[in-house]
Structure 1
């Protein structure tokens, strides 16, 4: 089923309104429904007020408690699945200020412990040198660039929290993408080699020619086993449905099996850095 961005924006409100309407049609108060679902009344209130995003299990419990017909249940569950997906429009983010996005990411990083990054075409900000960070913001409004760059660099402190574990998979295209001049790109690649020696960081590389199986590729990140994001040129999609998150974790594991790590990865990165310096 195709899902339009405006559907993603509206689906949470529609789901909340539909669940509230079904409860009223069943003649149940919020307290009675909460008791049937083994939930708190405040949770039911937050769900119906669209102040809390219910999980698919929450929605299934509510529908059973309401004795919803199979047809109604199927309609509500389809809407709930869409509501578990969020579209973050790049243009809207720029209007609000790129610092808001950086603060949002910092919060997600602070609350997560296990990180999986698949980087298809560029190096992520957590691994970037200052020169690379500034270049990555080159198309941002001029008045936002300095603050966004500072926040991106500040976020890198999370890499040194040994209680957190990071795995980064980078394609050769991502590592060698000429976002910055060749000399600066060589320094960026050296930085990857240095970070790969941290005990809580695994950096894997996927040289050109590595077969990753069928299907389109895109950059994505998985935080613990709870949230995943897929990045597009025009924005990002956030997935909270555990089936979507699990699918991306399984895909990541397949890519991981094909990647070079440790000494092999560092040797390949050193070759690419040397090639950049040889082209100066």
Structure 2
């Protein structure tokens, strides 16, 4: 299972860093001083209770004056350890509502959240009928799931949008808004709901129109939580990235797309006009 590989990588990294410190004849306190870290952090890294970032590992290796070939191998291990992958099959086995619980905890531990949504609005913006459609099985290979329970959990998550201490930017493409994932009346309700949510003081909804000439390709849904981690959605599952360079790269991408988006009243007007188009098309 993917979790087994991740656990082995993290344990291997912790054991290797501890062995290198001992070989250098340094105490945890001395290494902490050299790295400008706390001794507690060094201890937590070496015992596997804390996952070091790639930058943390670079600082430790530099302080220990580790040979280049050894350092390169450990940095590769650190990059693997800082990437999590979980398949939707694994979530389905324990219940998709558990994924909603994880997301709620992540949202409540973050202050600034940036959602890039090239294909579909995120669950925080869903009306119930739209959520039911997006959580239902799509192809025969999809695992069975308790849709009602997952939808209930998704609806409960949305309370975080009313917390003024947290800010949200939802950056959608025009295709994400208009892709017909549900009947026209549900699509209209979804667009109207997003326009209403966009009036919250701590929420910005931005939309990249199809006509915009953007110097980047909208390849994946991703969410940046503060400046500490990124989640990237795939057809088969989700990847979590913690390397600060990966986080910075996704923040740069987010800024590029946001520069070409409708925002504020223009975005709200677009959403309401699209809702009207869906209703007219139904008649």
- Give the TM-score normalised by structure 2: 0.89
* Counterpart among 242, 249, 252 of residue 250 in structure 1: 252
Cα displacement string for residues 31-80 of structure 1 (whole angstroms, at most 9, x for unaligned residues) = 55445545454433322232210123321232233331122112212221
2:269 pairs with 1:267: yes
| Matches of 2:65 and 2:81, distance apart in 1 | 22
1:212 aligned counterpart, secondary structure: coil
Stretch deviating more after TM superposition (31-40 or 15-24)? 31-40
Distance 1:216 1:183, change over 3 A: closer
- Aligned with residue 138 of structure 1, among 136, 139, 164: 136
Matched-pair contact (CA < 8 Å) for 1:9–1:86: no
How much does 1:112 deviate? 0.9
Offset at residue 13 of structure 1 (A)? 2.4
- Between stretches 138-147 and 228-237, larger displacement belongs to 138-147
Number of the residue aligned with 2:11: 13
Counterpart-to-counterpart distance in 2, 1:23 and 1:165: 41
Are the counterparts in 1 of residues 55 and 244 from structure 2 also a CA contact under 8 Å? no
Aligned to 2:62: 64
> What is the CA distance between 1:117 and its match in structure 2?
0.8
Contact persistence 2:191–2:272 (CA under 8 A): yes
d(CA) in 1 for partners of 2:59, 2:144: 49
Give 1:266 shift.
2.0
Contact 2:32 2:42 in 1 (8 A): yes
Structure 1 stretch 262-271 or stretch 233-242: which is displaced more?
A: 262-271
Aligned to 2:177: 175
Q: Superposed, which structure 2 residues align to 1:98-117 within 5 Å? A: 98-117=96-115
Matched residue SS, 2:120: coil
CA RMSD of aligned residues (A): 2.3
Contact preservation (8 Å) 2:89, 2:143: no
Q: What is the correspondence of 1:85-164 to structure 2 with a 5 Å cutoff?
A: 85-139=83-137, 144-164=146-166
Q: Distance in 2 between matches of 1:21 and 1:116?
A: 39
Uncovered stretches (5+) of structure 2, i.e. residues with no partner: none
**Structure 1 residues 35 and 155, CA, compared in 2 at 3 Å: closer, same or farther?**
same
User: Aligned residue for 1:212?
Assistant: 214
Inter-partner Cα distance in structure 2 for 1:40 and 1:195: 43
1:258 match: secondary structure: coil
SS of 1:271's partner is helix
In structure 2, the residue matched to 1:22 is: 20
TM (norm. structure 1) is 0.90
1:122–1:174 CA contact under 8 A, matched in 2: yes
The offset of 1:98, in angstroms, is 1.6
Which 10-residue stretch deviates more, 72-81 or 255-264?
72-81
Alpha-carbon distance in 2 for matches of 1:37, 1:200: 38
Task: Report deviation, 1:232.
Answer: 0.7
1:241 match: 243
Does the 8 Å CA contact 2:231/2:239 hold for their aligned counterparts? yes
List runs of 5+ in structure 1 lacking aligned partners.
none
